[in-house]
Structure formats: C-alpha cells, structure tokens
Structure 1
Amino acid sequence: MCYNTAYMKKGGFHMKNTTKNKVLLATVCSIFAATAFSQSAYANRITNINQAKNKALKEVKNATVLDVDKDRDDGVIVYDVDLLKGKKKYNIVYRASDGKKIEYGWELQNYYARNGKSISKSHCQKLALKEVNNATVTSIVNKTDDGMQVYKVKLKKGDKKYTLEYHASTGKLLEYEWKIVTQAVTGNNGNTGNNGYIGESKAKNIALDRVPGARVIKIEFDTDDGREVYEVELADSSFEYDIKIDAATGQIIEFDQDDLD
C-alpha cells in the first residue's frame, strides 16, 4: 500500500514518511535474517571428533568409522572422516565453524574386471553427465590404475569440482569425489596481486618449462591438504599432464602423466 500524504493518523498511531518506514523495516528484516543465519551456523558447528563422527554416520548409515582427523585447510579448521560400508570406502570433510560439508567421495574396494574392449570417450562422458546433471566436462583421460584400464573424468558444476573414475571396459563407476573449489581473486594479467602467491601467469610458465611443447588446457587455484596450489592441466600429441605447483613458492609438488587415446 502506498500513501501519498506525508502525515497520517490512524487509531492514535502517527505514520510519517512511509517510504522511510519501509526502508527501516527492510533493514530490520535483513538484520534478523543475518542473525538467524549466524545462529544456525553456530548451532551446526563441530567442536570435537565425536560430533564429526556422528555427523558422518548420519550421512552414511550403518557404516564403520575408520578414522577421524582434525586438520587445518587454508587456515580453516576441518574434520576429515573416513568410513567403510560394504564395498565402499567413504571420505567426508566438514568445516568446523558451521559443520558444512566441503568434500565428499567414495571408492569401490577390491573391484577387479578384466580389461577388454573399451567403451568410447563419448559414452563415458554421457555416463558422467548422467551422474552429475548439468555439469561441464573439463577432461577425460584413459589411464591404467592398479592394472585396470580406467577413464578419469573431471567435471565442474557451480562451486564444485568433481572427479569420477570408470572401468574402461565395463563402464562401472569405481570412484566418485567432489570438493568445493576455492578461487583466487586475479587481476587482468592473471596475477594474484599482493597476496604472496606467484600468480597464474608464472604458474603457467613453470608448467610449460616442465613439459616443453605442450599446451595449457586449464589452470585453477585450489587448496590441497591445507596448501594453496595451482593445478595446471596440459596436453601434447601423446600425453595429458596434471601438475600441482605450490602457489607461494612455485615448487612443483605433484606431476602426473597419462596416455591419450
């Protein structure tokens, strides 16, 4: 309801400047909403290992807890829980401050199938997109893992990064994992400014020096076990490469090379 008069009297209550009243009401509502959110986060916080264990058991009912660790990831306290249920081993990571799940994954234990004729990459991509609806496939690599031919599929959806692994012959999903992506704020030149990181441009050059002649497919800032890194994906005519570079020092801390089909 909109009032054109600057002054109104109703039942002994004086209303002046209705627009200001509406703004004030909206501000009060925002404060209440923010307070409610803060209280909810406080109520859901995790303060000890038993709380993390019980939270994980609610998600994976009737599982056996193998291990619970309290750790620090990107300066944030987290609880890392490993569980076993049937033939699947689960890993769940919770942020302590609000109990939010920031990583989730499972892998099939003791699965083996003989290598035969591989399904096509396009078929594997369809399987992955069915598993993670409306995601974007960023890479598919055929590789050998524990003597089995597998497809490793990476996807992105919203603020989550997914990694799925399929048996190349049977199309069986062997591993499933997602984690919330931590983005760095970069300038137009790909540098991260005065935050102590080397910047995307330098990380790219370090990766290209390691694999001369390759082309960079993707570069991403992330946190790995509490360590800020640049994850660089490259490829040449024969191989695909995954390189992790320490974001502060520029040291290569992980290097993977996989055959291309």
Structure 2
Amino acid sequence: MKINKAIIIALGLVVICGVGVSYSLVKDDKAEYLTKDQAKNIILEKVPDGKILEFSYDNENNSPKYESEIVKDTMKYQVDVDAETGKIINFEQEVLKDQNNGKTSDKLISEDKAMDIMINKVPKATVQKFNLDKDGKNVEYEGVLTKADTKYEITVDAKTGDIKEFSHEQIKVKDTKADKDNQYGDIEIND
C-alpha cells in the first residue's frame, strides 16, 4: 500500500512538473518584441540628436536584441537594446578621430526594402540576424534567416538592392527520437 501511495505521489509530481515546463515554454513562445521604431526611439532617447549609422536585429542564442552605432558631434556610441524588455543592455562611447565618419554621398535602399528582398528570396523564413555593413568599399545589408532545418545567409547591395551573396546550409538538430522511444530510461537487471 505504501508503494502504491509513493507511486501515485511520484506520478503526481511528474505531471505537475510537466505542466509547469509546458507552460513556461508556451509563455516564452508568445513573448512580444519591440518594433524597430520603438527600439530606435529608445536608442535616440539615450543619445539625443544622434545619427544612427548602423542598426540591426540580432537573435543569436535566443537573446533577441537591437544593436546600433550612433554618431553625435565628435562621439561614436554603441547602444544595444533588449528586444523583449526595452532595456539598454550595452552602452559604449568613444571619441571620433575622423570627422567625416558616417557621411555617404550615395543614397541607400531602406532596411525594410533590404529585408523584403531577403524574405522574397526565402519566403516564410525567420530573420535571425540583420545588419548594415559599411566595412570596406561596398555598403551591404547582411542577413541570417532560418526556415525549417535550413540556415540562409544573404547579402544585399545597399545601393542597388541586388543580391550579392546567397548561401544555405542544413542545421543539425539533436535526434530526440531515441529518447522518446526509451520512455523508461536505462533499465538494469541484476540476476
């Protein structure tokens, strides 16, 4: 009788824990993120009258955030905003050596247009990372997208909107089928 009671209590605890874990997973899936405009407003509140040179969304390691680079007067700032809470999670500043930083004579396509080009290339994909890269002589939008078990890397020319680079690779997913088939765990039999 005591064994039956112990088994019932153990099963009850397993069910309660399972419900709790399921709730937390569902709750996390429904998290709402800041829009790009909301994040930019938070950044510009931190650096009033600043000019945003680079702005990107990054969701690596399931830590969604907006990253930015801003200039104001003789200073350059890096401000990162948590996409879930709106809190500033990184703030760095440095004195500019070259007063011509950030000035470009050519008009660039918008971030929204570049993201649309990427999503049209891989419909129904999720953007994991997106940024404007001004390194080197070419200005490009770079994006990392995922769809099912495939990761896509796309580079779009920021002046023309042409896709410059496109690659994809299979994402390795942990095989949990063996874990599901073995619902009782490892069983050892002693003779």
Could you say which TM-score interval applies, normalised by the shorter chain? Answer: 0.3 to 0.5
- Normalising by structure 2, we get a TM-score of 0.40
Give the strand-richer structure, 1 or 2.
Answer: 1
Q: Which has the higher helix share?
A: 2
